[in-house]
Amino acid sequence: MPATNTTDKLHFGSYATLSDGNRIPRLGFGVYEMSDQEASRAVTWALEAGYRHFDCAEWYYNEQSVGSAISRFLASPGCPIGRSDIFYCSKLQSNNGYQAAKRSIAESVKKCGLGYIDLYLIHSPYGGRSNRLDSWRAIQEAKDLGLIKSIGVSNYAERHIQELLDSNPKYPATVNQCDLHPFMARLQLVDYCRANNIALECWGPLVRAERFDHPTIKELASKHSATPAQVLMYVRYRSVSLGALLTTSDTSSLHAVASRSNEATSLYVCVCATIRQLGPYCLHSTFAQQIPKSVSQHRIIENANVFAFELDQADMDRLLSLDEYLVTDWDPIGDPSA
């Protein structure tokens, strides 16, 4: 089943459907670098604001406080939602072999206290081929046992995804969570994932607060009475690369794409032209989920209000011209040793 939209017009409650048929809320909440106390407070505020998707990890060392905050909220008097309305993600910190992965999964399920994990990802490709595939074997088994509903990867380059596909896994990856935002577009990887029916999740969608003062972002925010954070999250990566670039008359963008491509420019241009004929760039048909992080209640609410305004094509073209391969945290995708 292809990763698709379930609604035409995106809103806070919109879901996408993953290739395994499970649904994922499009807007999630990241909890990286939150202390237990911060996570407990922020997750509660996020739930009150309407977030249902939480992006956690073994590496964040706050699985217990995030899970407890969710459980407390679900158990509160008159709570209108249940466990099945929550989408909880965790990630395997390191690829250290099959047994180690099994132990990590069991620990993460226990720590969150939610009974099961909705989405479990290999956090990065580090560890080598054999360890990556052993991790995947353990993750598939955990899915069969019902400990995990959907499985995927994070920070995987094309070569790592291809390696997994070539191993004929019982289950393919449904998600690749990568740093994706206007300043890090990863055009080829986005297209590769889409071609392989792998949904993209954007980590660092607010550019980790490093580009709120960029003149284009400030100008677009002012034009649409939005905040820089809201503008940054507007890029929703439907055929973000080729389809979007080809609706612009800016051929320099195209040449930038072509020069980064391993393929012949003429072939690239031909593919672009084909995509262009398929129809105009459409914001409401996208594969990407976003998981902004904040420990502030008003920013948590602000980040959820990203569906009230529309950028026009010219605005989009400007956003899509900002790519500078900006690494804000780590970059296993670009690390040839991974």
Ligand X SMILES: NC(=O)c1ccc[n+]([C@@H]2O[C@H](COP(=O)([O-])OP(=O)(O)OC[C@H]3O[C@@H](n4cnc5c(N)ncnc54)[C@H](OP(=O)(O)O)[C@@H]3O)[C@@H](O)[C@H]2O)c1
Which residues belong to the active site?
A: 60
Shortest distance (Å) from residue 130 CB to ligand X: 22
Nearest to 3 by CA among 166, 190, 159: 190
Q: Where are the beta strands (DSSP E) in the chain?
A: 4-5, 15-17, 23-25, 29-30, 53-55, 87-92, 117-122, 148-154, 175-179, 199-203, 289-290
214 scored as a contact of ligand X (CB under 6 A): no
Nearer to ligand X, 193 or 229 (CB): 229
CA–CA separation, 142 vs 130, rounded Å?
19
Among 203, 237, 268, 281, binds ligand X (CB under 6 A): 203
Nearest to 122 by CA among 168, 154, 169, 90: 154
Nearer to ligand X, 143 or 293 (CB): 293
Q: Judge whether 123 is annotated as a binding position.
A: yes
Number of residues that bind ligand X (CB under 6 A): 27
Query: Of residues 120-149, which lie at the interface with ligand X (CB under 6 A)?
Result: 123
Read off the amino acid at residue 18: L
Q: Which stretch binds ligand X (CB under 6 A): 17-25, 128-136, 290-298, 315-323?
A: 290-298
Nearer to ligand X, 229 or 246 (CB): 229
Sheet with 117-122: strands ordered across: 29-30, 53-55, 87-92, 117-122, 148-154, 175-179, 199-203, 289-290
Among 43, 303, 316, 323, binds ligand X (CB under 6 A): 303
Q: Which residues bind ligand X (CB under 6 A)?
A: 30-32, 55, 123, 154-155, 177, 203-209, 227, 229, 291-296, 299, 302-303, 329
Binding-site positions for substrate read 123
